[in-house]
């Protein structure tokens, strides 16, 4: 078992960091977050041309990209398409994604019911027609294809055959939508036990991806805190020499490294289809989500008054951290599930 990334993966990391930093400076990220859709409409074909959407990428390749899209948020439906939808789709549809002509997402939660990814649903299919209402669909307003969780399996439905109502979230670059299907044409993807197993693997993949994003967010928050602590002076000294600031940085660093180790383990488990994948992904998601929130809170406090301003970029990282920490249940719920595995 080797948790080190390959030379090619580290090269991919460097290229991704350079690309995201050059395309999304703080002002551009704010502009997109405050736009009508919250996404960069022009970047999807670019991601395809760089190979980020290729079916041939291993999950460890994607892990590098997920971490970097946390370090510098990518305002595009990359997580919803690659982590949530693509694993359920056939090879031909995957080629449409890889070519940059298709954006997709997963629709599972329903109003008035438990909304975790593996909870039972009422959406039904009769004679190839799907009927039901989904809520909190990630990137639902910008997706052209939905992978829909129905009572008897997973189905693909074109967005053109659905009624979509977008909603804002705390993170302007990661919005959700309510989606109503009224006897919409549906293509079966998986049913019965096959669908249940596939949905479980999608959840593992999504948790690992968000854990990696959380590591990227926490690293960026720490980078900003350390840079400011070295630059800002008070009483003739950089504020980093004072324990009130230095201890914040060290505490963030410790939590970040713990989260990174778990996130990389989860990524390896998903890539290898290891029997510990479920536990690893639950633990990684729980810890990385809280670590990202903790890092952002301490970075904001370490910046003093300027950290609380709308113009400073830190609040956008804080909102991304809160979004990914809350995805599909709280840290407490995920820790409880880990405990259930241990005590079974």
Write the pLDDT tens digit of every residue in 10-29. 999 999 999 999 999 999 99
Can you point out the beta strands (E) in the chain? 104-107, 124-126, 129-138, 145-150, 153-158, 163-167, 176-185, 187-191, 233-234, 237-238
Provide the sign of the torsion angle of the four alpha carbons 280, 286, 289, 292, taken in this order: negative
**What is the total residue count of the chain?**
344
Rounded to the nearest angstrom, the gap between the alpha carbon of residue 120 and the centroid of all alpha carbons in its chain is 23
How many Cα atoms within 13 Å fall on the side-chain side of residue 257? 5
pLDDT 10s digits, 203-251: 999 999 999 999 999 999 999 999 999 988 788 888 778 788 899 999 9
CA dihedral 305, 310, 312, 318 (to 10 degrees): 90
- CA dist., res. 116 & res. 108, Å (int): 8
Placement of tokens 């800002």 in the chain = 232
pLDDT at 2: 62
Contact by Cβ (8 Å): 139, 175? yes
pLDDT of 114 strictly over 80: no
pLDDT 10s digits, 38-49: 999 999 999 999
Strands of the 104-107 sheet, one edge to the other = 104-107, 145-150, 153-158, 187-191
pLDDT at 186: 98
pLDDT of 1 strictly over 60: no
- CA dist., res. 275 & res. 271, Å (int): 11
Contact by Cβ (8 Å): 216, 66? yes
Can you point out the beta strands (E) in 151-278? 153-158, 163-167, 176-185, 187-191, 233-234, 237-238
pLDDT 10s digits, 51-72: 999 999 999 999 999 999 999 9
What tokens were used for 303?
Answer: 């910046």
Contact by Cβ (8 Å): 325, 293? yes
Average model confidence (pLDDT) across the chain = 95
How many Cα atoms within 13 Å fall on the side-chain side of residue 188? 13
Give CA separation, 36 vs 31, 81, 128, in Å: 10, 20, 34
- Residue ranges of domains in the chain, CATH in brackets: 7-98 (1.10.540.10), 104-190 (2.40.110.10), 195-343 (1.20.140.10)
pLDDT at 57: 96
Rounded mean pLDDT, 105-126: 91
CA dihedral 199, 203, 209, 215 (to 10 degrees): 180
pTM of structure: 0.96
């Amino acid at each position: 078992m080797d948790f080190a990334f390959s030379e090619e993966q580290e090269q991919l990391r460097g290229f991704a960091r350079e690309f995201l930093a050059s395309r999304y400076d703080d002002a551009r990220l704010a502009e997109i977050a405050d736009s009508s859709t919250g996404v960069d409409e022009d970047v999807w074909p670019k991601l395809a041309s760089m190979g980020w959407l290729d079916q041939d990428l291993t999950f460890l390749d994607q892990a590098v990209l997920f971490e970097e899209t946390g370090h510098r948020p990518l305002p595009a439906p990359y997580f919803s398409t690659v982590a949530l939808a693509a694993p359920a789709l056939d090879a031909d549809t995957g080629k449409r994604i890889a070519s940059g002509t298709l954006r997709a997402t997963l629709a599972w939660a329903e109003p008035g019911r438990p909304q975790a990814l593996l909870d039972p649903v009422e959406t039904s299919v009769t004679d190839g027609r799907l009927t039901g209402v989904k809520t909190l669909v990630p990137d639902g307003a910008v997706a052209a294809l939905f992978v829909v969780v129905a009572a008897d399996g997973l189905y693909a439905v074109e967005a053109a055959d659905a009624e979509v109502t977008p909603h804002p979230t705390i993170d302007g670059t990661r919005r959700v939508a309510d989606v109503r299907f009224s006897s919409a044409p549906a293509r079966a993807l998986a049913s019965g036990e096959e669908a249940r197993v596939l949905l479980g693997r999608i959840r593992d993949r999504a948790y690992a991806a968000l854990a990696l994003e959380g590591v990227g967010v926490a690293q960026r928050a720490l980078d900003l805190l350390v840079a400011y602590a070295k630059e800002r002076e008070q009483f003739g000294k950089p504020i980093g020499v004072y324990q009130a600031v230095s201890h914040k940085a060290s505490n963030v660093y410790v939590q970040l490294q713990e989260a990174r180790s778990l996130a990389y383990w989860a990524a390896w488990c998903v890539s290898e289809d290891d029997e510990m994948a479920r536990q690893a992904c639950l633990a990684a998601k729980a810890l990385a989500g809280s670590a990202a929130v903790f890092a952002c809170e301490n970075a904001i406090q370490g910046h003093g008054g300027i950290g609380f301003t709308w113009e400073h970029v830190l609040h956008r990282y804080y909102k991304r951290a809160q979004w990914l920490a809350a995805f599909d249940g709280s840290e407490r719920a995920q820790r409880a599930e880990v405990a259930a595995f241990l005590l079974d």
